[in-house]
Structure 1
Amino acid sequence: MEHTSTPSAETLLLTYISYHCQDRVGYITLNRPEKRNALSDVVVKELNQAFDYAEDDENCKVIVLRATGPVFCAGADLRYLQQMQHNNYQENLEDSTLFLHLLYQIYTLKKVVIAQVQGHAIAGGCALATVCDFTFTVEAARFGYTEVKFGFLPAIVKVFLLKRIGEARAKELLLTGDLISAEKAKAYGLVNEVVAENQLEARVQELAQRLCVQNSAQAMEGTKELFALLQELPLKEALDYAAERNALARATDDSQTGIEAFLKNEPILW
């Protein structure tokens, strides 16, 4: 299934979030540098809208989540925190559920999501990096879930963090609320690569293009689905489900194309 790469005209400009697609890579950008790209209910809703838009964009195969300015995302903004003081239980539950839906959306999205973290990722900002499929960052960035220092519970991100780095390290990060270096985040499995600041964009681009050219979109989608589901099933049920998905995948157009190319010893560009 050879593909000729062309720029996409698909763009989405919101108040704090923008989206555009270039060479099959969709870029979702936090555009609130004067507030350190802090989160509010509006920002969360716009991120949700942007990811929906990217998932439906037929020209987009891989998504990059990035931010403008020196900070990736500093967590909740001051106005948002002030508003929470006056919320009742139902309002707080609706607000928490809104953020839950965003993290679940990113984690289960059909397309691969790469976090391009050019600066500090704190609290909710660190949660965003946690649920992406790949996370690339720079040496100066710091990561941390600081909620306990302010009387909050890092409850929602904990579900995803346990999957990513395990209980012992998740306890360390969530119970201390301390910030850690990019290198320590990598050692813990929270970050895939730490690169020089002037190489971050190029390294993310390299991976994104490699996934676009070398991998089947259908196969990556199916593999992501397995990650989301299999860990929650008992062993025998997980194996049975995996076998069913394997059998279904063999009948897809991408699988037939890939097998034919392999048997003919021909290169394939997806």
Structure 2
Amino acid sequence: MFETISISTDLRGVATLTLNRPEKHNAMSAQMIAELTRAAAQLGETNDVRVVVLTGAGKSFCAGGDLGWMQAQMAADPETRFVEARKLAEMLNALNTLPKPLIGALQGNAFGGGVGMASVCDVAVGVDSLKMGLTETRLGLIPATIGPYVIARMGEARARRVFMSARLFDAAEAVDLGLLARAVPADELYAAIEAEVLPYLSCAPGAVASAKALVRDLGPRIDDAVIDHTIRALVDRWETDEAREGIGAFFDKRKPAWNSKV
């Protein structure tokens, strides 16, 4: 049923949703975006599922958007870009509004859209060796469709520390920024996730879903207007000379014109 992700559910109703492109560091392709959207709907509608754990296969949690997918957007017309950007935005919204607790188990690095994936989790725990970063501006792009979720998680003041600079930061700083609830040694990640999962197994599933919906309603506004704004911002950025130069430089394995680092 799925090729880029996998789902397994234990007898307690704990589903593990795994990003399964380890050879690509779980970068999000068009197919993965579509499959994640379907998976969110499936898990949300399955009564036997009580909790969902989101993790990745291999060394990385998620390296962000697949660069082949981004390169295809650069070659597409604006209408196609808008459609593809909306698919990405709808996938993030589907995970963010999943009526089940979503626990992020970051077993490796998260960059760009991977930070967005961590931000749509209700709580995320990561290994203490991981690196994170909103790396889009290195490519002449911006963290647009993930922006509402990242800022809802971090708050504007903390987001400004890392939202525009593309600098990488470690697990300890990710905790300070609010992206991770905890950072633990790799051999303690399973136990840390179990500690997050277990309380939900004593809670009424309907009450949990209602409480999650309420906290989302009371939090920063992420409605259709906000989502549309982020889609347009991303599409507009794809049309810039900087985006063409940044993506082109990446594939040419050279520094983009604006990079003045020695």
Please report the TM-score for the alignment, with normalisation by the length of structure 1: 0.78
How far apart, in 1, do the equivalents of 2:220 and 2:59 lie?
A: 38
State whether residues 159 and 177 of structure 2, in contact with CA within 8 Å, keep that contact through their aligned partners in structure 1. Answer: no
CA distance in 2, matches of 1:194, 1:37: 21
Query: Do the aligned partners of 2:127 and 2:186 also contact (CA within 8 Å) in 1?
Result: yes
For residue 148 of structure 2, the aligned residue among 148, 153, 159 is 159
Query: What SS does structure 2 have at the residue aligned with 1:176?
Result: coil
TM-superposed CA distance for 1:30, in Å, is 1.0
Aligned counterpart for 1:146 among listed residues 135, 156, 164: 135
Task: Specify the alignment match of 2:204 in structure 1.
Answer: 216
Aligned equivalents of 2:98, 2:41: Cα separation in 1: 9
Aligned to 1:17: 5
Q: Distance in 1 between matches of 2:143 and 2:220?
A: 21
**How far did residue 232 of structure 1 move?**
5.4
Residue 226 of structure 1 aligns with an amino acid whose one-letter code is L
State the Cα distance separating 1:155 from its structure 2 match: 1.4
Q: Once superposed, what is the RMSD of the aligned Cα atoms?
A: 1.3
**What is the distance in 2 between the residues matched to 1:138 and 1:28?**
18
Query: Residue 43 of structure 2 aligns to which amino acid in structure 1?
Result: A
- After superposition, the Cα gap between the structure-2 partners of 1:139 and 1:223, relative to the gap in structure 1 and judged at 3 Å, is same
**Runs of 5+ consecutive residues of structure 1 not aligned to the other structure:** 1-12, 234-270
Contact 2:152–2:220, Cα closer than 8 Å, also in 1: no
Q: Where does the alignment leave 5 or more consecutive residues of structure 2 unmatched?
A: 222-262
Amino acid in structure 2 at the alignment position of 1:229:
D
Q: Among 93, 114, 120, which residue is 1:131 paired with? A: 120
Residues 30 and 68, structure 1, Cα contact 8 Å, conserved in 2:
yes
| Aligned-pair identity (%) | 30
The C-alpha deviation readout for 1:188-241, integer Å capped at 9, x for no partner, is 11100111101101221232122112x2212211111112212358xxxxxxxx
Question: Which sits farther off after the overlay, 90-99 or 155-164?
Answer: 155-164
Report the CA distance between 1:164 and its aligned residue: 1.4
CA contact (8 A) 1:18 1:31 kept: yes
Deviates more, 1:75-84 or 1:186-195: 75-84
**Against the structure 1 CA distance between its residues 119 and 229, is the aligned structure 2 distance closer, same or farther, given a 3 Å change threshold?**
same
Q: Taking structure 2 as the reference length, what is the TM-score of the superposition?
A: 0.81
SS at 1:64 equivalent: strand
User: C-alpha separation between the residues in 2 aligned to 1:188 and 1:15?
Assistant: 33
Which residues of 2 match residues 188-267 of structure 1 at below 5 A? Answer: 188-213=177-202, 215-231=203-219
- Structure 1 residues 63-78: aligned runs within 5 Å: 63-78=52-67
SS at match of 1:175: coil
Letter in 2 for 1:40: S
Residues 115, 150 of structure 2: 8 Å contact kept: no
Runs of 4+ aligned structure 1 residues displaced above 3 Å come to none
